[in-house]
Structure 1
Amino acid sequence: MTTVQPTPSPEAELGLEEPLAPDAGTETLAVGASGPRRNAAWRTFLRKRSVWVFLPLLAVLILISFIGPSFVGDPVSAIYPKLLPPSSEHWLGTDNLGRDYLARVVYGGQISLIVGFSVAVLCLTLGLVIGGLAGYYGGFMDNALVKVSEFFQVLPGLVLALVAAALLGSNVVIIIVILGVTMWPGVARIVRAEAMRITKLGYVESAKAAGFSGPRILWSDVIPNAMPPVLVATTMTVGRAILVESGLSYLGIGDANRPSWGALLNSAQAYMQQAWWLALFPGLCIFLVVLAVNILGDAMNDALNPTIGRVK
């Protein structure tokens, strides 16, 4: 009896049916992967105990920072006794001007979190565009974009922030732009390396042979498959941005009308001995957010790169 072989689809003949071909023993999972692979990554991510601890913790801190202002008092109203310790009436005490410190910490979280996540999105956008173009096209474009990234990478963020604050004034938007300009080269280098690797794989070569345009291949095949390490690097950028913004606020570079956790630490340094709570609570918030973001980024790395997870 003659067995009839099924006719392969045009996508299979061109090598486009499985766009996630691994490279030289390295297993990665793209963002646009098929359902079973994507579900496996989610199961790996959610199986970790650290995720069940730090993901709710990060979600609670975000909710408190953005919903909490509706339930706390006025952060600038100085109507209470000065330097009251934490009590049932004032859960986090009061500051040196008689303002409720719970309201100050809740409002301060908005600025720190907005800066951290906005800088991460800006770095991701610049990194994908510049790193993707450099890694895919190579040649002169690669050399030019690498030189541009090296120029921004050597810019001292602190000095740039000081100059910008002196010329333009210090506000949240300027701080986000400065941090994004000085942090995006790290993400771009990862995107460039992944794009160079993926461009050499068979399904990309098949797409080129099929006549697809370079931009179409780059944004539909190369970039999605380069996302796993890029997402991990972006999560780490959130923590770095929060720490740098806190350091800048600690030095007095920030929006005086909308203090962040770092600005609260700056104000608390003169009262460390007599009012310990002024430094403890904003410092603890910074520590917990940065720790949670880094732990979740490490868990995401294990889920999207199974080989690394098995080695650990």
Structure 2
Amino acid sequence: MKIKKIISSINNVKQLKAGIILLALIILLAIFAPLIATHDPFELNDDMVSPPSNNYILGTDGLGRDIFSGILYGARTSILIGVVAASISGIMGTLIGGISGFYGGKIDAVLSEVINVFLMMPTFFLILIIVALFGSSMFNVMVVIGITTWTGNARLMRAEALSLKQRTFVKSLETIGESKFKILLKHIIPNGIFPIIANTTMNVSDAILTESALSFLGLGDPNVMSWGQIVYNGKSYLTNGWWISTFSGIAIVLTVLAFYLIGDGMNNILSPKLNSNN
């Protein structure tokens, strides 16, 4: 019955359905990249800055690498960075926001100030500084994006915790001596996680865009194939090799759109649940 209800909810929210279909297509292309790719994405050849043709569907870059194959393999990297970074952000925001809202008092005051300090910082420039100092490996990029974008989730979780701790079932658990940390993990977070899920899904889009921006500035991992790296490689050929950056840019836009539609659709579905909880 639950599966039927979920499917029915998806069918009733057009943007969620469209986002899932689009993302599923992109993920399938990424998974089956070795079967679909027409060339080795790292293979160099003499057909440099070659326009789209029968041999090179989306053309080649300045080193003769096939753009179509690069985009297929780059999907794996870009989506992985987006999902991992957003997950780190979601976990950090949930824990910090939950502790702040549920424990209250001095703990809430201190953590709220920490959240406000991070909110005042220019996030992208902070990411630039950290990546410049510690290196631009894919691991560093994922972690840095994650640990600098958690504040939105923290504020959402704090608001949910402040509301939920006034509920009768929470008061009853405190009365019988249940530890605060157990109540937080078993009851507050599970009941307040809904807005975090929707927001984290949208954060995947932000993380993909951030990685692309870092790569465009030459701060991406040069050892991996990502859409941002392809855009960076094509910035010197915008006049005579427009296809290099254009097609990878379209891939970024479509993927960002897919995650945004899913996040927005999930928010619409979860809103009734949120209202009933509050």
Q: Tell me if TM exceeds 0.5.
A: yes
- CA separation of 1:223/1:161 partners in 2, compared to 1, >3 Å: closer, same or farther? closer
Within the candidate set 52, 56, 79, 2:45 is matched to: 79
| Larger CA deviation: 297-306 vs 76-85 | 76-85
Read off the aligned partner of 2:73 and give its amino acid letter. Y
Q: Which residue of 1 aligns with 2:140?
A: 174
Indicate the SS of the match to 1:143.
Answer: helix
2:131/2:219 contact within 8 Å kept: yes
2:131/2:144 contact within 8 Å kept: no
1:80/1:100 contact within 8 Å kept: no
Within the candidate set 213, 217, 239, 2:179 is matched to: 213
Matched, 1:43 2:15: no
Matched, 1:64 2:29: yes
1:160/1:178 contact within 8 Å kept: no
In the aligned structure 1, how far is the partner of 2:36 from the partner of 2:4? 38
CA displacement at 1:62 relative to structure 2: 1.8
Within the candidate set 94, 97, 100, 1:128 is matched to: 94
In the aligned structure 1, how far is the partner of 2:274 from the partner of 2:123? 32
1:133/1:142 contact within 8 Å kept: yes
2:15/2:264 contact within 8 Å kept: no
In the aligned structure 1, how far is the partner of 2:192 from the partner of 2:111? 18
Within the candidate set 244, 259, 267, 1:301 is matched to: 267
For the aligned residue pairs, the C-alpha RMSD in angstroms reads 2.2
Q: Which residue of 1 aligns with 2:189?
A: 223
Unaligned ranges ≥5, structure 1: 1-34
Q: Which residue of 2 aligns with 1:23?
A: none
Indicate the SS of the match to 2:219.
Answer: coil
| Larger CA deviation: 83-92 vs 289-298 | 83-92
CA displacement at 1:178 relative to structure 2: 1.6
CA displacement at 1:40 relative to structure 2: 4.2
In the aligned structure 1, how far is the partner of 2:192 from the partner of 2:11? 22
| Larger CA deviation: 205-214 vs 94-103 | 205-214
CA displacement at 1:102 relative to structure 2: 1.4
**Could you list the per-position Cα deviations for residues 71-98 of structure 1 after superposition, in whole angstroms to 9, with x for gaps in the alignment?**
4232221124122222222221111211
In the aligned structure 2, how far is the partner of 1:69 from the partner of 1:164? 34
Within the candidate set 252, 257, 269, 1:286 is matched to: 252
1:152/1:181 contact within 8 Å kept: no
Indicate the SS of the match to 2:40.
Answer: coil
Indicate the SS of the match to 1:91.
Answer: coil
CA displacement at 1:131 relative to structure 2: 0.8
1:83/1:98 contact within 8 Å kept: yes
**Could you list the per-position Cα deviations for residues 141-189 of structure 1 after superposition, in whole angstroms to 9, with x for gaps in the alignment?**
1111112222333333333333333332211111112211210011011
CA displacement at 1:241 relative to structure 2: 1.0
Matched, 1:118 2:84: yes
In the aligned structure 2, how far is the partner of 1:41 from the partner of 1:239? 23
Matched, 1:153 2:98: no
Read off the aligned partner of 2:162 and give its amino acid letter. M
Q: Which residue of 1 aligns with 2:110?
A: 144
- CA separation of 1:297/1:111 partners in 2, compared to 1, >3 Å: closer, same or farther? same
Q: Which residue of 2 aligns with 1:107?
A: 73
Matches within 5 A, 1:223-242: 223-242=189-208
The count of residues paired between Structure 1 and Structure 2 equals: 274
1:153/1:185 contact within 8 Å kept: yes
1:302/1:308 contact within 8 Å kept: no
| Larger CA deviation: 287-296 vs 203-212 | 203-212
In the aligned structure 2, how far is the partner of 1:252 from the partner of 1:203? 53
Counting helix residues as a fraction of each chain, which structure ranks higher? Answer: 2
| Larger CA deviation: 202-211 vs 224-233 | 202-211
Matches within 5 A, 1:14-53: 40=5, 42-53=7-18
| Larger CA deviation: 104-113 vs 38-47 | 38-47
Q: Which residue of 2 aligns with 1:3?
A: none
**Could you list the per-position Cα deviations for residues 82-124 of structure 1 after superposition, in whole angstroms to 9, with x for gaps in the alignment?**
2222222222111121111112112222221111111111011
Q: Which residue of 2 aligns with 1:196?
A: 162
| Larger CA deviation: 65-74 vs 104-113 | 65-74
**Could you list the per-position Cα deviations for residues 209-250 of structure 1 after superposition, in whole angstroms to 9, with x for gaps in the alignment?**
233221222111111110111111111111111111111111
Unaligned ranges ≥5, structure 2: none
Read off the aligned partner of 1:58 and give its amino acid letter. L
